[in-house]
Amino acid sequence: MTDLLGLAYWAETSIKLGVALIVIPTAALMLGYLFLLKMMAFMQSRLGPQDVGPYGTLQLIADAVKFLQKEDIHPAAADRRVFRAAPVVVLASSFLLFVVLPTGPDAVVENLDTGIFYAMAVSSLSVLGVLMAGWASANKYALLGGLRAAGQLIAYELPLILAVMGVVIQADSLNLQEIVRAQAEGEIFGFGLIGNPFILTQFIGFLIFMISAQAELTQTPFDMPVAETELVGGFHVEYTGFRFLLFFMAEVATAFAFSALATVMFLGGWWIPGFDFNAPALNVLGPVVMLVKILVVAFIIFWIRFTYPRLREDQLQKFAWKVLIPLSLANIVVTGIFKVVL
C-alpha cells in the first residue's frame, strides 16, 4: 500500500486504523443482522426485528445504544482489574485477526510473510480473555464456562492448524497473498480459467477447518463455554452494558474473520477469474468478491449453528482426537505425497 499511494508512515497507519475502525463494527453488524437476527427468525417461522428502521435494520444499533446506557456492574468478589481487561483481550484478538486478511493485490493492512501462522496464533488469544473473564467474575457458572473454553481449545486448536497445514503445503507459503496467488495461478487438469480453489483439492481440510472454526467461535454444536441453558451464558454471565457489547461484537467479528480466512485459503480469496493477478481494478472489486464469499461461508456457519443441538465437552474431545486429528494428519500426508510426486 505504501508503494501504491506513496504516503508517509503515519498517514498510512492512520488510514489503516480508520478503515479497521469502520470495517470491524460494520462486519459485526452485518453478520449480526443478516444471520443472527433475520435468518434465525426465518428458520423459526418468525419475522425477526421489524420496527427499528426499515425491516428492522437498525435494531442492532439500537441495542448497542441501549447497552451503552446500562450501569457498569462489577460483582463484589470480582477481581476488578482482570474483570475489566477480559473483554478487551477478547476483542483485541478479533481485531488483530483483521490485520492480515487480504482483500486485493494491495488492499491488505499488513502483508505478513507468516500471515496464516500469525492468524492462527492471534485467534487463540481470545481463549485467554475468556478464561480471564470466567476466573475474575467470581461466579461458578462463569468459571465453568471459562474452563470449558480452555478445555475446548485442546480439542479444536490442533485440527484447525493441521487443516491449514494442507493448504500451506500445497501453496508453498504461509503468506495469505501467496496462498491466493497459488489458487489463482493453479490449474485443474490443465484448465486454468477459474484457477484452482483449494476447496477442490483440500476438501477434507476445508471440512475440518470449518468444524474446528465452529468450535473456535463457540457456535452451537460446540457452544459449551456459553451454553445458555446450563451455564446461563458461561463466561459472560456477570458482564453488563458495554462490556457485554464488547464480547458480543468480538464473537460476531471473529466469525467474520474466520469466514474470511476460509475464503482466502479455500475459496480463492479476492481473485476474480479472468483478471490479471496484480490488476489494480482488483483493489476495488476484490473486497466485493471477498464480501460475497465471506457471507456464503458465514451463512454456513450460522446455518449449522441454528440447526444442531449442543454436544457435550467430552463428545467434542472424542470427536476431535479420534476423528478430526487422524483425518487431518492423513490429509497432510496425502498432500505431501502429491506435492513431492507431482
Partner 1 sequence: MPQLPGLLKGLGVTARTAMRTLFPKRGMRTLIPAPQQGSVTVQYPHEKEAPPDRARGVIALHEENCTACMLCSRSCPDWCIYIEGHKVKAPPRRAGGAVRTVNVVDRFDIDYALCMYCGICVEVCPFDALFWTPEYEYSEPHIADLLHDRIRLSEWMETVPEFLDYEPGSEQKVRKVPEFGTDDFAPARKLESDGARGLASGAGS
The distance of closest approach from Cβ of residue 28 to partner 1 in the complex, given in angstroms and rounded to an integer, is: 22
- CA dist list (Å): 133 to 48, 92, 97, 110: 30, 14, 20, 30
Check binding of 242 to partner 1 (CB under 8 A). no
Between CA 133 and CA 155 the distance in angstroms is 21
Identify the residue among 6, 8, 45, 189 touching partner 1 (CB under 8 A). Answer: 45
Task: Name the one range near partner 1 by CB under 8 A: 19-27, 37-45, 159-167, 286-294.
Answer: 37-45
**Per-residue contact flags (x/-) with partner 1 for residues 270 to 309, judged by CB under 8 A:** ---------------------------------xx-xxx-
Contact, 38 vs 48, CB < 8 A?
Answer: yes
Q: Is 70 in the site for partner 1 (CB under 8 A)?
A: no
Q: Quick one: 220 or 328, whose CB is closer to partner 1?
A: 220
**C-alpha–C-alpha distance, residues 82 and 98, integer Å:** 25
Contact 2, 269 (CB under 8 A): no
| Interaction between residue 318 and partner 1 (CB under 8 A) | no
Identity of the residue, 51 or 71, whose beta carbon is nearer to partner 1 in the bound complex:
51
107: number of CA atoms within 13 Å, CB side? 21
Where in 48-67 is the site for partner 1 (CB under 8 A)? Answer: 50
The interface region with partner 1, picked from 41-49, 88-96, 285-293, 329-337 by CB under 8 A, is: 41-49
Is 26 among the residues that bind partner 1 (CB under 8 A)?
no
Shortest distance in whole angstroms from residue 303 CB to partner 1: 6
Query: Interface with partner 1 by CB under 8 A: which range of 46-54, 139-147, 161-169, 330-338?
Result: 46-54
**How far does CA 66 lie from the centroid of its chain?**
26
Torsions phi, psi for 215 (to 5 deg): -70, -40
Return the C-alpha cell found at 326. 487422524
* DSSP-derived secondary structure for 149-201: HHHHHHHHHHHHHHHHHHHHHHHT-S-HHHHHHHHHH--BTTB-TT---HHHH
Rounded to a whole number of angstroms, the minimum distance from the CB of residue 211 to partner 1 is: 11
Of 221 and 268, the one with the shorter C-beta distance to partner 1 is: 221
Residue 46 binding partner 1, by CB under 8 A: yes
H helices of the chain, in order, are 2-5, 9-31, 40-43, 59-69, 80-97, 115-123, 125-136, 140-171, 176-185, 198-201, 203-216, 228-231, 241-266, 282-307, 313-319, 325-341
Residue 319 CB, shortest distance to partner 1, in Å, is 12
Query: Which residue's CB is nearer to partner 1, number 44 or number 278?
Result: 44
| Contact set with partner 1 (CB under 8 A) | 39, 41-47, 50, 303-304, 306-308
